[in-house]
Structure 1
Amino acid sequence: MNLYLMRHGEALAETEDPIQGLSAEGVRQVRASAGAMKRLGICPELVICSPKKRAKQTAALVAEVVNYPYSDIVESEALLPKAAPEGFTELLEKYRDRQNLLLVGHLPSLNTILSFLLGSETAVRFESGGVCCIDSSNGEARRGELRFCLTAEQMRLLA
């Protein structure tokens, strides 16, 4: 299974938008990252996102570019900013029959998920709109392999 972990695009300041939707720059970041995903042949079988507005907007923009049905996006609290790894384990188990999952979330939970999958305390700088790919084809948590981790700018260059 390939797990694509994506941080939402840059969000508006809470003073500007209390529920912090994507900024114009965030929309540009995500569209560029989605374009790179399409060019790289990344076709998610399932897109799962946090229920927060900026994550839902990010998932929707990616879905549009990679031709994934918007209505099939699944929301999960396991991808909220401070979600515990146990919720993620349950989520992964639920969809273990899928080959390519795109998970759109936040910090610090994306780093927690990455550390959990790789079996070590791994510090990765997840920039807004950035994407990491973990190969967990053996089906065991804590036995994944980091395939790549790209910033939004690197994704833009690939697009």
Structure 2
Amino acid sequence: MALYVVQHGKSLPKADDPEKGLSEEGIRETERIANVARGYGVTVSVIVHSGKKRARQTAERMGAALCPDQEIQTRSGMNPLDDVAAFVRDLPLDQNIMLVGHLPFLEKLIGLLVCSDATRTVFKLQNSGIVCLDEASDIDNAVIRWALMPNVG
């Protein structure tokens, strides 16, 4: 089972949109990355987002390209400063899940799953980027299988 970790797309400034929805650039980058993931055969059972507008919009665009088996879901406990250890305890890992959320929460989540230490940054996410975490038969922690980022370099 894979866990796809996605930072929401680039958002509008609060002055332009108090809810900070996706900017045009954020929409384009999210759709581009989602289509590349579809082209590589990425399959998702469910997409879960934090409930914030920019995360919901990112999840919807990922869902349009990847056609998850279940409806897109909102889940509490995914806000920037929420407790990643508490979130992981309730995370079903028997299906391919895409999580769409925010920093620093997502980078702490990756650190916890890969290194058993939420304070260790093991991957620097980009807006609209996807990091695939997966199980490895010979170790207890998750491994980073691959990543798709809008910007290389």
TM-score by length of structure 1 reads 0.85
Tell me, in whole angstroms, the C-alpha distance in 2 between the residues paired with 1:125 and 1:86: 19
Give the Å deviation of 1:91.
3.1
1:45-124 correspondence to structure 2 within 5 Å = 45-68=45-68, 72-92=71-91, 95-98=92-95, 100-119=96-115, 120=117, 121-124=120-123
- SS of 1:79's equivalent in the other structure is coil
- SS of 2:35's equivalent in the other structure is helix
- SS of 2:28's equivalent in the other structure is helix
- SS of 1:5's equivalent in the other structure is strand
Q: Which structure 2 segments of 5+ residues have no match?
A: none
Alignment partner, residue 40 of structure 2: 40
Letter in 2 for 1:143: N
Alignment partner, residue 20 of structure 1: 20
Could you list the runs of 4 or more consecutive aligned residues of structure 1 that deviate by over 6 angstroms after TM superposition? none
Give the Å deviation of 1:137.
5.7
> Do the aligned residues in 1 keep the contact of 2:47 with 2:59 (CA within 8 Å)?
yes
- SS of 1:51's equivalent in the other structure is coil
> Do the aligned residues in 2 keep the contact of 1:8 with 1:54 (CA within 8 Å)?
yes
Letter in 2 for 1:96: L
Tell me, in whole angstroms, the C-alpha distance in 1 between the residues paired with 2:56 and 2:136: 27
Query: Which structure shows the bigger proportion of residues in helix conformation?
Result: 1
Aligned residues: 148
Q: CA RMSD in A?
A: 1.9
> Do the aligned residues in 1 keep the contact of 2:33 with 2:148 (CA within 8 Å)?
no
> Do the aligned residues in 2 keep the contact of 1:7 with 1:131 (CA within 8 Å)?
yes
Q: Which structure 1 segments of 5+ residues have no match?
A: 155-159
- SS of 2:30's equivalent in the other structure is helix
> Do the aligned residues in 1 keep the contact of 2:85 with 2:112 (CA within 8 Å)?
no
Distance 1:52 1:2, change over 3 A: same
Give the Å deviation of 1:82.
1.1
Tell me, in whole angstroms, the C-alpha distance in 2 between the residues paired with 1:44 and 1:87: 23
Tell me, in whole angstroms, the C-alpha distance in 1 between the residues paired with 2:86 and 2:150: 27
